[in-house]
Amino acid sequence: MMFEEGQNMAKEFGAENVYDFSLGNPNVPAPERVRDTAVELLKNEDPLLLHGYMSNAGYPDVRKKVADSLNKRFNTAFNENNIMMTVGAAAGLNCALKALIDPGDEVLTFAPYFVEYKNYVANFDGVLNTVSTDHETFQPDLNALSEAVNKNTKALIINSPNNPTGVIYSEETIKGIAEVLEKKQKEYGTEIFIIADEPYRELVYTDAEVPYVTKYYDNTLVCYSFSKTLSLPGERIGYLVVPDEAADHEDLFTAVSIANRVMGCVNAPSLFQKVVAECLEEKADVAYYGRNRDKIYNALQSYGFKCVKPEGAFYLFIETPVDDKEFVQEAKKEHILVVPGTSFALGGFVRLAYCVSYETIENSLPGFKRLAEHYGLS
Amino acid sequence: MMFEEGQNMAKEFGAENVYDFSLGNPNVPAPERVRDTAVELLKNEDPLLLHGYMSNAGYPDVRKKVADSLNKRFNTAFNENNIMMTVGAAAGLNCALKALIDPGDEVLTFAPYFVEYKNYVANFDGVLNTVSTDHETFQPDLNALSEAVNKNTKALIINSPNNPTGVIYSEETIKGIAEVLEKKQKEYGTEIFIIADEPYRELVYTDAEVPYVTKYYDNTLVCYSFSKTLSLPGERIGYLVVPDEAADHEDLFTAVSIANRVMGCVNAPSLFQKVVAECLEEKADVAYYGRNRDKIYNALQSYGFKCVKPEGAFYLFIETPVDDKEFVQEAKKEHILVVPGTSFALGGFVRLAYCVSYETIENSLPGFKRLAEHYGLS
């Protein structure tokens, strides 16, 4: 909906006069190596292998390369049998949930959260419940987590760097989450999975480390996407990690592979499996987003807006002086498009995606200044 | 499973000594225009547009080109708002079913059928029931269809050219099906959809026409894939047609778009959307399959095997002189891999996929001859 709205406003007022901060659509191009690799594969590989079916989990050599890259970067010990290539992280999440949950099972996530989680869980007749965060830092409330887990809890979805807040969960936070879940697993005699949704893993602007969750908690599945790191959101390419340490990991790997098949993905797109395997050390221009972050964050701060300074992803989650939907409407008068926090299950905030051109940010600032003045912030 | 089995046997005995007829994996390469178009797009298009997000339904210009091509070839009157690009036909079927059925609803299909239909319907807590066909011709039994439809029937999945039998439903058959369903819609005051699964539409070896089903029945959704026509099964690219004539077609189009998003596909792979839009008049070398068909069909006939001569797709559905699973095991001794009919809900037959090299067919024939002799067919 927001996608169409931005396009329509751009048509009406001219693209340069609309400041569309509503979409998490990367605006720095894919690394050149992506194009070069794709062209080379198209020219030199046997088209039957390049475009043909393979195992539902993906090409074994691609999965091996992904495993090796993770091992090198995070000191893990994966092999190709721990990696399933997926149609982006969204499909990976769906496969994970289909494999894990039965009707009526409960899944937890920290609010605010990417609203699609609710739909994904509902696909399998599960129930998504939210756990609160500290609204100053947006770090998880571990006491609230402990209270929210019950015998029907099958999984906790975490997302760090976080959409919509941009915060990163520290090692201490991950250890704390793991401790709570370990205890609850023992208490109820159940398996409780962490599903780590990590499309923003590589988009970090500080020295903050993003802990690799499988190292802290055995029952962890990681959903990764190359959408942001390589600026390939339209190509739908990512992977799912099922570690050996997870309960019944072989059956679980079979289950996610079957889910990939029967939900209709069948396999991740074949050419881009091969492309990303050659671009595992590549990143789109993350510094561009960092420069955007500094510009918009500093400006909004100076106008009197309040928000956590994001360490990763490409979002600001801004406290609104009025109801967030009302603020969204007021911002539209300035041709500024942002998403209400209620869309992330937390009113009183709006999400601003700064994956836009630096010029868009510069040109939007007078509008933000007028908004601040309108609400008496400055 | 069959995929891995064939690969393992090839490792053990040498690929040239294994006759793997178990997979519907095209063996003629994609047309050169596919490669040339992909390379050109990669070199000349803005990577942000080429690999970026677009509406969940796909690029409007691509959908327009698909609509225009259908209109030209089938004298239909579609526009871009009737076309949603999908992650292959499998994802299209899942989106269609998610949009149409509620828990407990019934879906019909003619047996034998592509076994995944059952899984797709089960994804939405629907029930798939089968309707018999004439086992001499594998044409649908319209009386049986009429008896099978009840007030809970939401859809009938048809697949012509058919997997696993290779038969094509004539215009008369389609008219007959439409007549039954029209009558039942009136009788029950319900909407009953035909979901036409058409990945084999372009793979036809005779003068037979494959009627375009939307022209015969208003409540029709068409699921198409480029997997077979352009030999791109690994790329996961196809489309779903929602005609204006379908009941509540605007809501239905919205529903399939949302299904595309929330089931995790989000959109069809972006580069290959653009590629297929430039290759709508292209076909892989269908004559190659035709030559295979003649060779294997004539040989098996001469050995005493019985099967319908297929008009389309790339399968033979062969009557087995013994239980089909027993026959499959016996065939394995000859290093011949075929799929038991029970996998298509019809025992007493096996499916042979002749999308293999001509040499594989030639080299497999002595083995088939020995099988025929073993069972006293010749």
What is the reported pLDDT for B4?
76
CB of B285 closer than 8 Å to CB of B28: yes
**For the residues A136-140, what does the mean pLDDT come to?**
95
Q: Mean pLDDT across the stretch A206-210? A: 94
Question: Is the CB of A42 less than 8 angstroms away from the CB of B35?
Answer: yes
Q: Which of A11, A266, A285, A314 would you mutate first to test chain B, the one with the most B CBs within 10 A?
A: A266
Cβ A42–B47 below 8 Å, yes or no? Answer: no
Min Cα distance A303 → chain B (Å) is: 32
pLDDT score recorded for residue A8: 87
Burial of A101 (0-12, 13-18, 19+ CB in 10 A): buried
Q: Are residues B42 and A38, on separate chains, in Cβ contact within 8 Å?
A: yes
Q: What angle do CA B137, B139, B140 make, to 5 degrees?
A: 145
Note the pLDDT of residue B2. 63
Per-residue pLDDT tens over the stretch B230-269 = 999 999 999 999 999 999 999 999 999 999 999 999 999 9
- pLDDT band per the 50, 70, 90 thresholds, residue A336: very high
Which portions of chain B are predicted below pLDDT 70? 1-2
Share of residues in chain A with pLDDT > 90 (%): 95
Nearest chain A residue to B232 by CA distance is: A51
Tokens of A255: 């289950």
The count of other CB atoms within 10 Å of the CB of residue A323 is 14
What pLDDT score was predicted for residue A10?
A: 87
- Looking at residue A134, its amino acid is D
In chain B, residues 80-119 whose CB comes closer than 8 Å to chain A: 87-88, 90-95, 116, 119
Assigned token pair, B230: 């352009």
Alpha-carbon distance B114 to A34, whole Å? 37
The predicted model gives A215-226 an average pLDDT of 98
> What pLDDT score does B91 carry?
98
Has residue A3 got a pLDDT over 80? no
| Cβ–Cβ below 8 Å for B48 and A26 | yes
Predicted local confidence at residue A5, as pLDDT: 81
Task: Write the pLDDT tens digit of every residue in B12-67.
Answer: 998 889 999 999 899 999 999 999 999 999 999 999 999 999 999 999 999 999 99
Closest approach of chain B CAs to the CA of A7, in angstroms? 11
For residue A299, pLDDT over 90 is answered with: yes
Interface of A with B in 19-78 (CB under 8 A): 23, 25-27, 29-30, 34-35, 38-39, 42-43, 46-48, 50-55
Across the interface, do B234 and A48 touch by the CB < 8 Å criterion? no
- What one-letter code names the amino acid at B226? F
Contacts across the A-B interface (CB distance below 8 Å): 177
Q: Which of A14-23, A189-198, B165-174, B261-270 is predicted with the least confidence, judged by mean pLDDT?
A: A14-23
